[in-house]
Structure 1
């Protein structure tokens, strides 16, 4: 069985909340040994984000901390600082997501860790980065979505700005960190040198909005809110049917020709306002209600079958429960079961690994209880640090 491409790599994970734990979970999924440092008696703050709760863990901790070992160390103490540095000596990667300046006060910043592990890859994840006028501001996903411009673009045209339902700023920060770390590992393999990585959630969010940024750069116009519609094409949005909402995407002339070839939509063919994509975009105020009026005459299952036959992109708007029951996800193994609390027999389904093709083989290590592996890890590190005595001849 394969241990994954990162087998033999050890990660010291001092992160909490979401972006950092996501980054280190990716490394653990790929085979790295991840040592999660938590404050004794308190732990990662997401242990208390809930309900629901499973023992001392909420859904955020369960969802982002598989394939890790928990080591209880208080970095605010002299003993904790020394224990952390002792661990760092044997670790290839060090990840932290405290507010800038905090790890320096703890005495485990990049310069301190590099003394004990010169080739360490040290990754700092923060809301706004380690430099710049906003670096010291407190930042969580909501703040970054707001200041980063995503909320202003999200929601109905005449409604209030809305955050995305998923923590996209945290997620982009975590995935950006994982990508940067993997790149630094490749570089270290060639040069033998470590590297410091400064990952900003705001930078990641701006990168995610590449299409909007490019549109602004070309036009100078600030993007508006479009709800479920698309600013560059129509019809491309959600529509009501007789029983539930669906989404339709007419992205090119082939899709449009297929749509108006359907008997119910044939009257739209003669309307010059809809003769090409720019025209349909300009006249969406009349086009969208006309399309929806037709769709509301029959249930969603009818229209999905009709549009599928015509090759027009269409899907129902699923609830999460409907999504997780999709045979597509079941067949691809995108849900995994973890046990929490450890040894309880309580099985919890959670999102699996899109990177499964290169993931470690074998059972998934369930999220750890607070300090579950402290003795095991510290004893192992102590043994590793002992000098090897030459064998007698």
Structure 2
């Protein structure tokens, strides 16, 4: 069975996470992805760990399945010419070198588009190809701090906190997928490719959504609210007898159902969401007393029974044993030539006619050299 994007060939010069995550999504959807590294393997995540399994990094494995691998030294004229031959028959080039690097190699967009006018060329950099910071390297952690994400993550007591995963890299990888596919769709009518200039900084700022909009409207610096919501209450975690539960009350009807469930008659000031937000501390203190009386599982059952959105705060052991995720095929197994049997997170994309497939385990450097060079 062919994947939805099996007609595409992508040259992936990217390393670490944003670019490789983007190209892995294309690979899952059936595209032919050729991972191009320097001899010996230049993707830094091959060496990031522990953990390692038979010397193979879990980090590297997380973003590189469904790819073939070749090695080229793009500092040499010979290997630059080999890359150009591949460009002539490819649809997309993705790279995340610092601004100006591809120009030094003679592999910039203006050069490559003369070889293949239909080429879609995506550069992923920390700050973009323009602006006063364009020459600086970009790392997820730094961009979380600069973008305001850390300023709104954590509590007033904790100070700014980064998220537990490299969320800016993931967002940028997703935006890259969107942009590349938009360019490919446009190409189907114009017959011409184009260049995409993606910045981790831009993508991080775009994720501020309602918090950013609120600041632009009011000029008031947003606060770090931990596990509470800036504009809805109660919409937060509560400690239970044996863990934590998230209660997400979004309507007055849901709030009435919650009060009935705990057998509490709230004062008039809690009748509207605005009133509940204004009196959040009192509301939280009252509800916290009730929530500690039952286990997390008991609360989840009771809250769902009356239509109140909720969920447990799960450990990774609970997560990987969740029947819902098993039913959705979100845990997969592959055979890797060096690491052996590896377990991975599956794709969330569920297409009815052209489902994702897991054809290739993450490659070792140069695994497919003889096929392409």
**Fold in common (TM above 0.5):** yes
CA deviation profile, 1:227-262 (whole Å, cap 9, x unmatched)? 000011111111111111111111110111101112
If you compute each CA radius of gyration, which structure gives the higher value, 1 or 2? 1
- Counterpart of 2:370? 375
CA 1:364–1:182: 2 relative to 1, 3 Å: same
State the distance in 1 between where 2:55 and 2:80 align.
25
Match of 2:43 in 1: 44
Say whether residues 1:287 and 2:283 are aligned partners: yes
1:324-354, Cα deviation, whole Å (9 max, x unpaired)? 21111111111222222x2x57211111111
Structure 1 window deviating more from structure 2 (47-56 vs 6-15): it is 47-56
Q: Structure 1 pair 67/360, CA: closer, same or farther in 2 (3 Å)?
A: farther
> Which among 347, 356, 369 is matched to residue 350 of structure 2?
356
The 5 Å alignment of 1:1-393 reads 1=1, 3-262=2-261, 264-266=262-264, 268-269=265-266, 271-340=267-336, 342=337, 344=338, 346-357=340-351, 362-378=357-373
Per the TM alignment, residue 361 of structure 1 is displaced from its structure 2 partner at its CA by: 5.5
Shift of 1:56: 4.8
- Any conservation in 1 of the 2:331–2:343 contact (CA below 8 Å)? yes
Query: Following the alignment from structure 1 to structure 2, what is the Cα–Cα distance between the partners of residues 257 and 65?
Result: 48
Structure 2 counterpart of 1:381: none
Structure 2 CA distance for partners of 1:235 and 1:326, relative to 1, 3 Å: same
Cα shift at 1:103: 0.9
Q: Hey, what's the Cα distance between the residues in 2 that align with 1:277 and 1:94?
A: 49
**C-alpha distance in structure 2 between counterparts of 1:305 and 1:362, whole Å:** 35
Runs ≥4 residues deviating over 4 A: 358-363
Deviations 1:63-83 (A, max 9, x none): 111110010111122222122
Counterpart secondary structure, 2:214: helix
Aligned partner of residue 91 in structure 1, secondary structure? coil
- Please report the RMSD computed on the Cα atoms of aligned residues, expressed in angstroms: 1.5
The Cα of 1:110 is off from its aligned counterpart by: 0.7
1:385 paired residue number: none
| Contact 1:46 1:57 (8 Å CA) reproduced | no
Instruction: Please give the alpha-carbon distance, in whole angstroms, between the structure 2 residues aligned to 1:121 and 1:302.
Output: 52
Residues 345 and 53 of structure 1, relative CA distance in 2, 3 Å threshold: closer
**Structure 2 gap segments, 5+ residues each:** none
Q: What displacement does 1:41 show?
A: 1.5
Question: TM-score, length-normalised on structure 1?
Answer: 0.91
The answer to whether the Cα contact below 8 Å between 1:47 and 1:56 also exists between their aligned partners in 2 is no
Residues 246 and 317 in structure 1, CA contact (< 8 A), matched pair in contact too: yes
Gaps of 5+ in 1: 379-393
Higher mean displacement: 53-62 or 252-261 = 53-62
Q: What is the rounded CA distance, in whole Å, between the counterparts of 2:180 and 2:355 in structure 1?
A: 18
TM-score (norm 2): 0.96
**Deviation sequence 1:4-42 (CA, Å, 0-9, x none):** 122221111111010000111111112111110011123
